[in-house]
Amino acid sequence: MTSATSNHPSIGEFANQTNSIFMGLLKPQQLLEEKFLGFVLTDFCGQVACESKSQLSSSTILKIKRLAAAVAGVGKRKIWLDPAEQAEIGNANSRSHVKKLIKDGRVIIKPTVIHSRARTRDLLAAKRKGRHTGPGKRKGTAEARLPTKVQWMRRQRVLRRLLRKYREAGKIDKHLYHSLYQKSKGNVFKNKRVLMEYIHKAKAEKNRTKVLTDQMEARRGKNKATRDRRAKRLAEKRQAILAVEHEAAVQE
């Protein structure tokens, strides 16, 4: 089966003829005879039109972006160069020239891309209220999510910080501090509120004991003074009786 004849040249012939016209090896009459003029002129005009536009090299673009980024104080990815002003942009070789291009709008600083955290803040606020924390949202065991060791360290630090604060403020003495420190280490206090209540009770008990001790000392002193006075009176009476008896014996 023979292929259908066509008036258009093949790709290889078109490439050879194109190279020939640029090298000056093919005459216009031959072009008309071979029917290549339309294709060659179209390709040639396209190349001329592309070359008429000044294209910036990648090194020049990087240089301009680096200068603009340094002048504006932003990253190079924030710099936009106007493609219609590439000829003037390519002539920029100083910071002052780049500043003028930025001022004229030929080099533009892209706006900062906003990554809003509004939805994240709303979600965290809801989680603090206990929302979105059910069994379906949990990944890992309770021990993995919040280890008991971490809970213990946090609790001990809270209790010891409170004891240190009370000791420095003079609310408890060093003896009570040491006793409460050991009790905290022994897992006696569940939280700070329990420790504060224990401190208040301990201080009240200590004050009550001190008051009772003082009262007992005062009563003991008073009783001793009473006994001394009674003994003194008895001694005086005895001396008086002895004196009377002695006088009576002398008179007899």
The confidence score (pLDDT) of residue 228 equals 92
Contact 49, 38 (CB under 8 A): no
The confidence score (pLDDT) of residue 170 equals 94
Closest CA to 28 of 14, 44, 15, 41: 41
Split at pLDDT 50, 70, 90, the class of 2 is: very low
In the block, tokens 């005086």 appear at 236
User: How many Å apart are CA 185 and CA 197, to the nearest integer?
Assistant: 17
Q: Burial, 236: exposed, middle or buried (Cβ in 10 Å; 0-12, 13-18, 19+)?
A: exposed
pLDDT tens sequence across 129-140: 999 999 999 999
- Give the mean pLDDT of 90-115: 93
Split at pLDDT 50, 70, 90, the class of 244 is: confident
The confidence score (pLDDT) of residue 56 equals 83
| pLDDT score of 121 more than 50 | yes
- Give the mean pLDDT of 176-187: 97
- Give the mean pLDDT of 213-234: 92
Contacts of 189 by beta carbon, 8 Å cutoff, 6+ apart: 159, 183, 195, 198
SS3 109: strand
| pLDDT score of 84 more than 70 | yes
- Give the mean pLDDT of 43-49: 40
Split at pLDDT 50, 70, 90, the class of 148 is: very high
The confidence score (pLDDT) of residue 7 equals 53
| pLDDT score of 110 more than 60 | yes
Instruction: Give whole-number Cα distances, 36 to 15, 125, 217, in Å.
Output: 11, 75, 132
| pLDDT score of 220 more than 50 | yes
Read off the amino acid at residue 18. Answer: T
The confidence score (pLDDT) of residue 3 equals 43
